[in-house]
Amino acid sequence: MEQAELHNFLTRYFTANQCNIIQDKDGMITVQLTEQLDEQLMNRPFYWNYVKRVGGRGMPMKVTFITNPAKKEEEGEWIHFGSPRLHQMFHTLKQTGKITRQYESKTGNTNQTSLIPWLILNVSVHYQGVQKRNELLSLGINLINGAILPTFMDRIQTISFSPIIHDYCFTLTPIIRTTSALNRLERYIQNDIHSQDDAWVQEAHQTYKEEKELLDYFFQLDTHSNATDECTEEERLVKERYKSELATLQERLLPTISTEVINTGMLYISQQTTSQLLQQ
Amino acid sequence: MTNDIQLHVSLDHDLTNKISDDSLFCSWNTFQLAYETANQLAIPAFKGLQSPQHLPQVSFLPHQIACAQKVIEHMNGRAILADEVGLGKTIEAGLILKEYMIRGLVKKVLILAPASLVNQWVVEMNEKFYIPASAQRKSPIWDYDVVVSSIDTAKRPPHKDVILNTEYDMVIIDEAHKLKNHKTKNYQFVQELTKKYCLLLTATPVQNHLLDIFNLVSILKPGHLGNYEDFTQRFGNNRNKLSNDDHLKALVNKVMVRNRREETGVEWTKRIVETVDIDFTQAERDAYNFLLDIANSPMAFTNITLLRELCSSREACFLSIQNMLKREELHDERANQLKQMVTYIEKMPHHAKAQKVVELISKSNEKFIIFTEYRATQYYLQWLLQQHGISSVPFRGGFKRSKKDWMKQLFQHHAQVLIATEAGGEGINLQFCNNIINYDLPWNPMRLEQRIGRIHRFGQTEDVHIYNFAIRNTIEDHVLTLLYDKIRLFERVVGNLDDILQKLEINDVETELHHIYKQSSSIGEAKIKLNNLSSVIASAQEQEDKDGTSGAS
Residue numbers in A near B31 (CB within 8 A): 97, 100, 102, 263, 265
Question: Higher confidence at residue B87 or residue B383?
Answer: B383
Q: What is the pLDDT of residues B89-145, one digit of tens each?
A: 999 999 999 999 999 899 999 999 988 788 889 999 998 999 999 998 777 777 789
- Measured CA to CA, the distance from residue A119 to residue A145 in angstroms comes to 12
In chain A, where do the E strands start and end? 20-25, 28-32, 62-66, 77-78, 99-104, 113-128, 132-142, 148-149, 161-162, 169-171, 256-270
* CA angle at A251 for the pair A190 and B231, rounded to the nearest 5°: 140
pLDDT of residue B325: 84
* CA angle at A172 for the pair A170 and A175, rounded to the nearest 5°: 170
Please check whether residue A144 is in contact with residue A175, taking contact to mean a CB–CB distance below 8 angstroms. Answer: yes
Q: Judge if B51-264 and B271-277+347-546 fold alike in CATH terms.
A: yes
Residue numbers in A near B42 (CB within 8 A): 124, 134-136
User: Are A255 and B40 within 8 A, CB to CB?
Assistant: no
Q: C-alpha distances in angstroms, B26 versus A37, A152, A266, B29, B37?
A: 15, 18, 12, 8, 15
- Overall residue count recorded for chain A in this entry: 280
pLDDT of residue B190: 92
Please check whether residue A251 is in contact with residue B78, taking contact to mean a CB–CB distance below 8 angstroms. Answer: no
pLDDT of residue A148: 96
- Measured CA to CA, the distance from residue A64 to residue A73 in angstroms comes to 12
User: Are A211 and B221 within 8 A, CB to CB?
Assistant: yes
- Measured CA to CA, the distance from residue B494 to residue B532 in angstroms comes to 23
User: Are B10 and A263 within 8 A, CB to CB?
Assistant: no
Picking from A199-203, B37-41, B419-423, which range would have the lowest pLDDT averaged per residue? Answer: B419-423
User: Are B31 and A200 within 8 A, CB to CB?
Assistant: no
ipTM at complex level? 0.92
- Look at domain B271-277+347-546 and name its CATH class: alpha beta
CATH homologous superfamily of B51-264 equals Tandem AAA-ATPase domain (3.40.50.10810)
Could you tell me the residue ranges of all domains in chain B? 51-264, 271-277+347-546, 281-346
Query: Model confidence at B301, in pLDDT bands (50, 70, 90)?
Result: confident
What average pLDDT does this structure show over B139-156? 86
pLDDT of residue B105: 92
Picking from B65-69, B89-93, B119-123, B176-180, which range would have the lowest pLDDT averaged per residue? Answer: B176-180
User: Are B229 and A221 within 8 A, CB to CB?
Assistant: yes
Query: Model confidence at B507, in pLDDT bands (50, 70, 90)?
Result: confident
Amino acid at B4: D
Query: Model confidence at B494, in pLDDT bands (50, 70, 90)?
Result: low
Please check whether residue B26 is in contact with residue A98, taking contact to mean a CB–CB distance below 8 angstroms. Answer: yes
B501-528: burial string, b at 16+ Cβ within 10 Å, e else: bebeeeeebeebbbebbeebeeeeebee
Residue B416 scores a pLDDT above 90: yes
pLDDT of residue B328: 67
What average pLDDT does this structure show over B312-319? 90
Could you tell me the residue ranges of all domains in chain A? 3-96
Instruction: Give how far B114 is from chain A: nearest CA, Å.
Output: 26
pLDDT of residue A261: 93
Mutate to test the interface with B, among A43, A133, A221 (most CBs of B within 10 A): A133
- Measured CA to CA, the distance from residue A27 to residue A169 in angstroms comes to 41
Note whether A254 contacts B: Cβ–Cβ < 8 A.
yes
Instruction: Give how far A208 is from chain B: nearest CA, Å.
Output: 11
Q: What is the pLDDT of residues B225-268, one digit of tens each?
A: 887 878 888 887 776 677 677 788 888 888 999 988 777 776 77
pLDDT of residue A237: 78
Determine if the peptide bond prior to A117 is cis (ω within 30°).
no
User: Are B47 and A81 within 8 A, CB to CB?
Assistant: no
Residue B428 scores a pLDDT above 80: no
What average pLDDT does this structure show over B53-75? 92
Mean pLDDT of chain B: 85
- Burial bucket for residue B143 (CB in 10 Å: 0-12, 13-18, 19+): exposed
- Measured CA to CA, the distance from residue B74 to residue B434 in angstroms comes to 39
Beta-sheet pairing, B146-149 with B133-135: parallel
User: Are A99 and B224 within 8 A, CB to CB?
Assistant: no
* Regions of chain A with pLDDT less than 70: 107-110, 221-231
User: Are A198 and B1 within 8 A, CB to CB?
Assistant: yes
Contacting A residues, span 204-243, partner chain B, CB-CB under 8 Å: 205, 207, 211, 213-222, 241
Indicate the pTM of the whole model.
Answer: 0.74
User: Are A93 and B37 within 8 A, CB to CB?
Assistant: yes
Searching chain A, which residue's CA lies closest to the CA of residue B165? A244
Please check whether residue B306 is in contact with residue B288, taking contact to mean a CB–CB distance below 8 angstroms. Answer: no
pLDDT of residue B447: 77
* CA angle at B102 for the pair B100 and B103, rounded to the nearest 5°: 65
Question: Higher confidence at residue B545 or residue B514?
Answer: B514
Residue B296 scores a pLDDT above 70: no
Residue B514 scores a pLDDT above 50: yes
**Which of A172-176, B207-211, B343-347, B496-500 has the highest mean predicted lDDT (pLDDT)?**
A172-176
Please check whether residue B31 is in contact with residue A100, taking contact to mean a CB–CB distance below 8 angstroms. Answer: yes
Instruction: Give how far A68 is from chain B: nearest CA, Å.
Output: 13
